[in-house]
Chain A
């Protein structure tokens, strides 16, 4: 991994579902280095799992996954969020993006969750399928653009 892989103003959102934790949706802005974010999301799942297994109470709460510095060279923050059905949302933001505060991240997660439930309500969507809903895409894109 090279240093400074994270270009400025990067945001990535990943959604992984259920116990199997396969990705339902991954989107990043800008789109370069996406693979790296895939990896980040994947590794952060471990931390998320650890957190949700440890905390018996308050399921579905918005837990924060503030890693700060994942590696000495890496500088991005990973936020996590888990729903009651063990669907994990992960947002990766560049550390240089100091304008993003915790409340904003929380609201982003809330929006994500709402959009996700809308997608779920669609009878043509089979849970476990990758999310291809255009409405969902538009919401996520708008949110990420706003965050960057």
Chain B
């Protein structure tokens, strides 16, 4: 074999060709079939091909070894140049153009483009070709002059050899024109169709360059267009060298990826670590744009203005909508400067062909939580997992230069909790429900928000009614309620009270300043709750020791319609009854046993019940020291057994009414009713009587309320206390009943509870 000297370019080209022909991956022999295909693609006459194969020695060998292959290629180049095929001339010919092969595959062009780019900017684009090489499916690709900028016009004149196959001049011309701006030069020398082949590549070569240049200038659209036109020209299957060939899509893809890899390379070279990071000049640009819409940099851009602005970017509405969702961090329908920059950056990225992320990248997240509506409640931040620092800076919305906010990554992880807050904040229901005392404990939230809006044992109808009257005062501002917590001994009641502040805090996030301001006294409790999210009952234990082990309270199907009961669901009030209120008041233990005993003894004997409750009551005893009604209850207790089943009201009333005017009445009534609830069915009529009595006595209350405010409040407080006491008692009685009497006892209770529920 004759020795063959190849230029670097040729060497590379030939090796690539060989690889493509090396179907068997033998690395040594190119399959005959492919080689012949290749040669035929050179568009030389068959005789020439045969001659070449003969010359290179393949015929002798019977296969194409690498050297034969290379020789053959060189001969092809010769032939295509119109030079006589002589082995001797192989090495003598200088500046021999690379052999051209006409193939119908698109990859050719892209590869060409790549190759060109590589040739042109070897240093820059080297990473790409390897990728491209793999893309090569067909052996033949063309590496034309662009690799050798100094190529003389000679190849052009030889193009007639390949001309027949290259038909559509128009497209390349159009394309050429486009590229002409970039390349210039050789383009003019392509008069004939075959020549057309060349310019595309030559032009393709500068393409990436310009693309890069454009990218660096942050003007993506032109890049896209240039590449788009790349493929816009009508496809021609016989023009592999024309980029607009059979499969424009793949070309586009290829070019896009090439652009993007270019960009990546550039960005890497420019030191970008994060593709989503905003550079300083970008940031400045965004800020300027922001100013055109909203002069105040700390202000907000309303959604409509932002919509108009971003619609100008000509992105599809769906994508703009997605960008908005990503960038409007606080979901307020307006963009702060940070959010605006993030949105703008996403738009720019999208226009450059980047896909929109599913979640907002960290570098684009706004630095500050927009919680200034909630008047800087630090707990939520901790709740959500943020470090305290950003929250403290919360009120300041000023756009400082974007730096990667380390705290925000936590946001990603605590999305659930964040969502919780946004739920709270964005849901008007929370507010309304708050008002209407329906604040269901959202199982999704990690924080249990007990709602102690009313200390109503929902079981008893009259209690509810009365509390409704007085309770409305308590629902909103919770200061009176919060004053209660120390008095509340029961776990359930504590939970109830916690729920209230919890809810309000949640609402506080929802930019209800009034709540936050009102909840000062609550906030302390809230904080406690916050720190024990989801363990509010335990948290409340700090306030007052909870009563005996809570009896598990299953969901009450009956009372499920009453959201209030759901609030207490977390509270194991210890009774399985259906509408049991979780507000066991700070019941003075002593009366309880006596009262619980009453049902057993039909309100007469207390003996049996006492021992049963002694175990439980003592625990409660130390916990309610400051219960003013203690004595009162004792009085009750004493009276109760002595009373007849019917209407003990009068006697007891007389005794009790003196210490406390209005409250005792209902309390007593309730006690009475509770007692009567306990026993058997025959007590039902009595119970209803009692209830009627209580209801009748209720009107008397307002009269006394007409007195001075303090007395009213005191009476209210006492009322509440008694309520809780009664509720507690009720629950215990229920429990006892269940244990002792069994299902029948329960049945007797249900009729009473049902009307309550409907209230």
Interface residues of A (CB under 8 A from B): 60, 64, 101-104, 106-107, 110-111, 113-114, 117-118, 121-125, 132-135
Q: A122 and B303 in contact (CB under 8 A), knowing A103-B566, A107-B443, A134-B322? A: yes
Query: B426 contacts A124, CB within 8 Å?
Result: no
Which chain B residues border A60 with CB–CB below 8 Å? 429, 432
Query: B324 contacts A123, CB within 8 Å?
Result: yes
User: Would you give 8 A-B contacts (Cβ < 8 Å), ordered by A?
Assistant: A101-B560, A107-B444, A111-B423, A111-B444, A122-B321, A124-B317, A124-B321, A133-B321
Query: B318 contacts A132, CB within 8 Å?
Result: yes
Max count, chain B CB within 10 A of own CB: residue among A103, A113, A117, A125: A103
Q: Is B644 an interface residue (CB 8 A)?
A: no
Query: B422 contacts A118, CB within 8 Å?
Result: yes
In the docked arrangement, what's the CA distance between A125 and B306, Å?
13
A135: which of B303, B325, B440, B563 is its contact (CB, 8 Å)? B325
Q: C-beta contact mask, B324-335 vs A, less than 8 Å → 1, else 0?
A: 110010011100
B328: which of A111, A117, A122 is its contact (CB, 8 Å)? A122
In the complex formed, the residue of B with least CB distance to A114 is B423
Query: A133 contacts B325, CB within 8 Å?
Result: yes
B358: which of A102, A132, A134 is its contact (CB, 8 Å)? A134
In the docked arrangement, what's the CA distance between A74 and B331, Å?
41
Q: Is B555 an interface residue (CB 8 A)?
A: yes
Query: A133 contacts B322, CB within 8 Å?
Result: yes
In the complex formed, the residue of A with least CB distance to B323 is A124
Which chain A residues border B331 with CB–CB below 8 Å? 118, 121
Which chain B residues border A123 with CB–CB below 8 Å? 303-304, 306-307, 324, 333
Which chain B residues border A132 with CB–CB below 8 Å? 318, 321
Query: B426 contacts A118, CB within 8 Å?
Result: yes
Which chain B residues border A117 with CB–CB below 8 Å? 426-427
Nearest Cβ in chain B — how far from A126, in angstroms? 9
In the complex formed, the residue of A with least CB distance to B423 is A114
Interface residues of B (CB under 8 A from A): 303-304, 306-307, 310, 317-318, 320-322, 324-325, 328, 331-333, 358, 422-423, 426-427, 429, 432, 440-444, 555, 560-561, 563, 566, 569
Query: A113 contacts B307, CB within 8 Å?
Result: no
Q: A124 and B333 in contact (CB under 8 A), knowing A103-B555, A104-B443? A: no
In the docked arrangement, what's the CA distance between A60 and B433, Å?
11
Query: A107 contacts B442, CB within 8 Å?
Result: yes
Which chain B residues border A102 with CB–CB below 8 Å? 560-561
Across chains A and B, which 6 residue pairs bring their CB atoms closest together, nearest first? A123-B303, A124-B321, A123-B307, A121-B333, A114-B423, A124-B320
Max count, chain A CB within 10 A of own CB: residue among B325, B555, B563: B325
In the docked arrangement, what's the CA distance between A17 and B160, Å?
68
Which chain A residues border B304 with CB–CB below 8 Å? 123
Nearest Cβ in chain A — how far from B4, in angstroms? 59
Query: A110 contacts B442, CB within 8 Å?
Result: yes
In the docked arrangement, what's the CA distance between A121 and B339, Å?
15
Which chain A residues border B333 with CB–CB below 8 Å? 121-123
Which chain A residues border B324 with CB–CB below 8 Å? 122-124
In the docked arrangement, what's the CA distance between A102 and B561, Å?
8
Nearest Cβ in chain A — how far from B471, in angstroms? 18
Which chain B residues border A107 with CB–CB below 8 Å? 440, 442-444
Nearest Cβ in chain A — how far from B367, in angstroms? 21
In the docked arrangement, what's the CA distance between A125 and B443, Å?
30
Nearest Cβ in chain A — how far from B570, in angstroms? 12
Query: A101 contacts B555, CB within 8 Å?
Result: yes
5 further interface pairs, Cβ-Cβ under 8 Å (given A103-B555, A110-B442, A132-B318): A60-B429, A106-B563, A113-B427, A124-B324, A133-B321
In the complex formed, the residue of B with least CB distance to A124 is B321
In the complex formed, the residue of A with least CB distance to B319 is A124
Which chain A residues border B310 with CB–CB below 8 Å? 124
In the docked arrangement, what's the CA distance between A103 and B306, Å?
39
In the docked arrangement, what's the CA distance between A104 and B441, Å?
10
In the docked arrangement, what's the CA distance between A111 and B440, Å?
13
Nearest Cβ in chain A — how far from B692, in angstroms? 28
In the docked arrangement, what's the CA distance between A62 and B122, Å?
68
